[in-house]
């Protein structure tokens, strides 16, 4: 028996520069990045902040920013899917990618201990890596599996891919899946600086796939999707926005941080095989594209290895140029770009694009969005430190 | 007492300390592999050398370094860090 088709019926986002799809399209059309100089205790650094005054109403003593962002995005996703607390969500699963857990709360608890020899009683609930998944499950009464995935920068993609796998197994009809991260802390910015991977100074921007690329900026945010079997979506009259047709997961098993183009290529090939698609069927790649010296070369090599001559005909978008790197939520951001490609024919540009690098010779959609492009399938990449890779394929619902 | 701050001396001292070996062993080594230096160890070494010599090493050029002599040459041509 053929496995059930899995479709997206809703999504929600809280990203640097956009809290809704309308705002996201406006941002992408503007061609201007949403990363900014950071203020307060983070002065001297740049990064991607979410601007949503509505978040304050969601904050409680028990919640770190990563859980607040997640709840806001999930609320919008459920509204779009036409779902609320009750029978439709009773047995739903919750699959959350989050690389670091309650990073702000961890930092604050250390400061509290050193400055006042006192730690707040809610600290554990704020810090737990599975706190966002638990808060979603509790808030919406989802009693299916509530699972957290921590694979650094590929966490959200793995969470979504594993959710798809469960839906295809027939053991579940509906899942809330996505990623969240709130890494803008004094400690995290210095940790990434020490790795020589962070763009330096308050005016730094993210410049993927061009010669001037000089590292990433951190961003906070959350993206969540409502995933259902096509049958379950149709049974309640919900509109399928796109199909999640392929998932590949593969580990480099070589190095903690160095990208491995062979492992990345294998991951993309696994996703294509899973979707039953030939490389020539794809029109778009939502790239991992971190703007590091080695990472962009590795991904470009891997795309060329998988797609051969067809690679030159792919549009390759790097969303991190707009928002910064959302780490555990990054795969969710990239998936939105894939969704836009197959559903709207909208190709997200790679902004801050300067001088082409001879080693990077794909079509990275420099600086200006493209509209009205006929794309049926889009590949979405996420490669995590530790060598954990995930590729997803989003397909238009015909 | 004057401290020898020539680029080569500083590099050998830093590498010996980071890689838990002797300066003599570092001086004799040509490849990075024989000292066990991978990309993560390299970051530690470069940041320590930058601090000690007050220089700024270009990441793109660092990326192309494959041997100890190449690393020393890069350190010797790296500019002084701009005053903060």
pLDDT tens for residues A364-373?
Answer: 999 999 999 9
- The full 3-state SS of B47-82, as one line of letters, equals HHHHHHHCECCCHHHHHCCCEHHHHHHHHHHCCECC
The domain ranges of chain B are 7-77
Matching residue, tokens 């406006």: A26
Q: Please tell me if residue A255 touches chain B, with a CB cutoff of 8 Å.
A: yes
Task: Say what the ipTM of the complex is.
Answer: 0.77
Mean pLDDT for all residues in chain A: 97
Matching residue, tokens 């330096």: A200
How far CA A50 is from CA of A55, A78, A221, A365, A373, in Å, comes to 9, 20, 6, 25, 30
pLDDT tens for residues A204-260?
Answer: 999 999 999 999 999 999 999 999 999 999 999 999 999 999 999 999 999 999 999
**CB B59 to CB A214 under 8 A?**
yes
Does the structure show a pLDDT above 60 at B1? no
Task: Give the per-residue pLDDT at A49.
Answer: 98
Cβ atoms of A314 and A283 within 8 Å: the answer is yes
Q: Please tell me if residue B83 touches chain A, with a CB cutoff of 8 Å.
A: no
Query: Which of B37, B57, B60, B81 is most worth mutating to test chain A (most A CB atoms within 10 A of its CB)?
Result: B60
Report how far residue A68's alpha carbon sits from residue A56's, in angstroms, rounded to the nearest whole number.
Answer: 9
Q: What is the dihedral of CA A144, A149, A154, A158, to 10 degrees?
A: -30
Domains of chain A, each with CATH number or no CATH: 6-235 (3.40.47.10), 245-395 (3.40.47.10)
Q: Cα-atom radius of gyration of chain A, to the nearest Å?
A: 20
Q: Please tell me if residue B81 touches chain A, with a CB cutoff of 8 Å.
A: no
Cβ atoms of A177 and A145 within 8 Å: the answer is no
Percent of chain A at pLDDT exceeding 70: 100
A-B CB pairs within 8 A amount to 20
Q: Please tell me if residue B77 touches chain A, with a CB cutoff of 8 Å.
A: no
User: Residue A126 in 3-state DSSP?
Assistant: helix
CB-CB neighbors (< 8 A) of A293 in chain B: 59-60, 63
Matching residue, tokens 């899917």: A81
Tell me which fold the domain B7-77 belongs to. Answer: 1.10.1200
Query: In Å, how far from its chain's centre is CA A56?
Result: 23
In this prediction, residue A10 has a pLDDT band, given cuts at 50, 70 and 90, of very high
How far CA A297 is from CA of A92, A360, A361, B1, in Å, comes to 40, 6, 10, 48
Predicted TM-score (pTM) of the model is 0.94
């Amino acid at each position: 028996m053929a496995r059930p088709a899995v479709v997206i019926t809703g999504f929600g986002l809280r990203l640097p520069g956009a809290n809704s799809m309308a705002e996201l399209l406006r941002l992408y059309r503007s061609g201007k990045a949403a990363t900014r100089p950071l203020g307060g205790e983070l002065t001297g650094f740049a990064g991607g902040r979410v601007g949503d005054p509505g978040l304050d109403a969601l904050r409680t003593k028990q919640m770190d920013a990563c859980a607040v962002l997640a709840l806001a995005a999930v609320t919008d996703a459920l509204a779009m899917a036409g779902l609320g607390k009750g029978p439709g969500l009773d047995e739903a699963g919750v699959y959350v990618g989050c690389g670091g857990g309650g990073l702000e709360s961890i930092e604050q608890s250390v400061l509290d201990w050193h400055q006042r020899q006192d730690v707040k009683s809610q600290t554990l609930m704020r810090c737990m890596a599975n706190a966002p998944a638990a808060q979603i499950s509790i808030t919406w009464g989802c009693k299916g599996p509530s699972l957290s995935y921590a694979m650094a920068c590929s966490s959200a993609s793995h969470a979504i891919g594993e959710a798809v796998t469960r839906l295809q197994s027939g053991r579940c009809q509906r899942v809330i899946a996505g990623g969240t991260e709130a890494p803008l802390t004094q400690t995290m910015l210095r940790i990434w600086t020490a790795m020589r991977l962070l763009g330096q100074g308050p005016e730094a921007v993210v410049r993927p796939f061009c010669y001037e690329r000089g590292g990433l900026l951190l961003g906070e945010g959350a993206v969540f999707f409502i995933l259902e079997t096509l049958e379950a979506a149709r049974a309640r009259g919900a509109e399928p926005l796109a199909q999640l047709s392929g998932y590949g997961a593969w580990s480099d098993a070589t190095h903690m941080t160095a990208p491995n183009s062979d492992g990345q290529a294998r991951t993309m090939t696994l996703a294509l095989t899973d979707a039953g698609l030939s490389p020539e069927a794809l029109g778009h790649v939502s790239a991992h594209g971190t703007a590091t010296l080695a990472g962009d070369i590795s991904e470009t090599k891997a795309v060329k290895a998988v797609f051969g001559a067809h690679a030159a005909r792919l549009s390759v978008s790097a969303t991190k140029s707009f928002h910064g790197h959302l780490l555990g939520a990054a795969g969710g951001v990239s998936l939105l770009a894939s969704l836009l490609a197959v559903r709207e024919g909208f190709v997200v540009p790679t902004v801050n694009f300067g001088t082409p690098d001879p080693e990077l010779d794909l079509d990275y959609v420099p600086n200006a969005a493209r509209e009205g492009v006929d794309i049926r399938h889009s590949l979405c990449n996420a490669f995590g430190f530790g060598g954990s890779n995930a590729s997803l394929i989003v397909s238009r619902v015909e | 007492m004057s401290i020898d701050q020539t680029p080569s001396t500083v590099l050998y001292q830093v590498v010996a300390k980071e890689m838990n070996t002797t300066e003599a062993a570092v001086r004799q080594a040509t490849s990075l592999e024989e000292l066990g230096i991978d990309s993560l160890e390299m970051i530690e070494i470069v940041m320590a050398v930058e601090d000690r010599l007050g220089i700024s090493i270009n990441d793109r050029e660092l990326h192309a370094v494959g041997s100890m002599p190449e690393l020393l040459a890069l350190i010797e041509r790296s500019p002084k860090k701009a005053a903060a």
